[in-house]
């Protein structure tokens, strides 16, 4: 069955899931361009997709914010058609054996801080900062970090007057416990400071490979959240960041020192990491850890291919010319970073779409 959205986009295979709703590969039937299509049942208990589409619209035009091509109802589903992006930072973290070098962490920190600052400048807080919600671009934008999944985003101030929302307590935890700020665990209404504290935990997760409050055992969700909070509160930032440059502890201590309605000094935080980057002698060449992994992988394949051909020649089974290992230049890999291979849409993945 040929499943379509707005009679313009064909739905293909499932490629992911957000906080609310599943995400499918889509194809623009006119241009052939690939897009992402997020679907949510119209019968969803707590519908979020329409709200998320409105947030994307409010953020439209920002660097690293995907563009919504279409939103509306199709049969039994709400559908949002959005730019197709590359892998998430969580995917790439796994690809790199769950450790990033300091250079990669600092390259990411710079862009992630800019994305969060932009969201805040448009009067929203994200409330679910985690590696899964930052995706690399594709093609020419393969080195650009994009922020996604605004289902939990909230306005923290009036767009016209800039009057901040009031301080409240006894709020349920919104977001992901692993990266939640201490104040979020304590039930305090979230504000700009909490997005930034969460980013601090993400950066240490990338540096360390894991966080001390991962893998804690508990019988209920509440018990688990309480254990995570306790571990988070009793782990000094200096201990959490031990073995890594002091800038990470300085960053976390700064975000934790902010008052509820304080405007963070984003430029100061970016400079903190940029100065460290320069001091370490790194260059802004956008060669991330996964770029090098891919180059090494390709070189390894080329060497193996050559070895197999030489073995064949030595056995006397072939007199074919042995190919030279491919010329693998980092610059070419960087330029092509994240470029998707052509794929055939798998329509059977969404037979429950609800259209007859």
Q: Which residues are catalytic?
A: 128
Q: CB neighbours (10 Å) of residue 128? A: 21
- The set of residues, in sequence order, having a beta carbon less than 8 Å from that of 217 and lying 6+ positions away, is none
From the annotation, which residues make up the binding site? 38
From the annotation, which residues make up the binding site for ATP? 38
Beta bridge partners of 257: none
Beta bridge partners of 10: 4, 27
Cα end-to-end distance, the chain, whole Å = 9
Report angle CA 115, 188, 265 to the nearest 5 degrees: 35
Residue 147 sits at φ, ψ, to 5 deg, of -105, 135
Token pair recorded at residue 153: 């985003």
What's the DSSP call for residue 349?
A: G
Question: Crossing angle for the helix pair 247-257 and 266-279, nearest 10 degrees?
Answer: 170
Q: CB neighbours (10 Å) of residue 160? A: 7
Residue with tokens 């700064």: 254
Contact (CB, 8 A) for 125 and 190: yes
């Amino acid at each position: 069955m040929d499943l379509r959205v707005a009679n313009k986009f064909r739905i293909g295979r499932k490629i992911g899931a957000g906080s609310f709703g599943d995400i499918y590969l889509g194809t623009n039937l006119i241009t052939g361009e690939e897009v992402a299509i997020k679907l949510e049942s119209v019968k969803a208990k707590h519908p979020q997709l329409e709200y998320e589409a409105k947030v994307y619209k409010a953020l439209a035009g920002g660097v690293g914010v995907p563009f919504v091509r279409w939103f509306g109802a199709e049969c039994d589903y709400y559908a949002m058609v959005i730019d197709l992006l590359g892998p998430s930072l969580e995917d790439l973290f796994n690809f790199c054996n769950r450790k990033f070098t300091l250079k990669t962490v600092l390259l990411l920190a710079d862009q992630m801080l800019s994305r969060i600052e932009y969201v805040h400048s448009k009067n929203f807080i994200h409330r679910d900062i985690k590696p899964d919600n930052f995706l690399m671009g594709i093609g020419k934008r393969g080195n650009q970090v994009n922020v996604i999944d605004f289902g939990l985003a909230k306005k923290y101030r009036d767009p016209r007057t800039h009057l901040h929302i009031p301080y409240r307590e006894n709020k349920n935890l919104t977001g992901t416990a692993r990266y939640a700020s201490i104040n979020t665990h304590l039930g305090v209404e979230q504000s700009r400071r909490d997005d930034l504290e969460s980013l601090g935990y993400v950066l240490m997760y990338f540096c360390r490979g894991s966080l001390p409050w991962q893998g804690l055992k508990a019988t209920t969700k509440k018990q688990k959240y309480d254990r995570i909070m306790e571990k988070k509160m009793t782990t000094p930032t200096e201990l959490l960041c031990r073995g890594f440059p002091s800038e990470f502890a300085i960053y976390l201590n700064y975000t934790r020192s902010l008052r509820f309605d304080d405007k963070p000094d984003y430029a100061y935080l970016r400079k903190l990491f940029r100065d460290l980057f320069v001091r370490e002698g790194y260059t802004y060449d956008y060669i991330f850890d996964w770029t090098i992994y891919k180059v090494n992988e390709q070189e390894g394949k080329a060497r193996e291919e050559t070895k197999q051909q030489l073995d064949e020649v030595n056995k006397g089974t072939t007199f074919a010319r042995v190919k030279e290992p491919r010329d693998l230049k980092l610059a070419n890999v960087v330029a092509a970073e994240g470029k998707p291979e052509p794929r055939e849409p798998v329509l059977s993945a969404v037979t429950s779409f609800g259209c007859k």
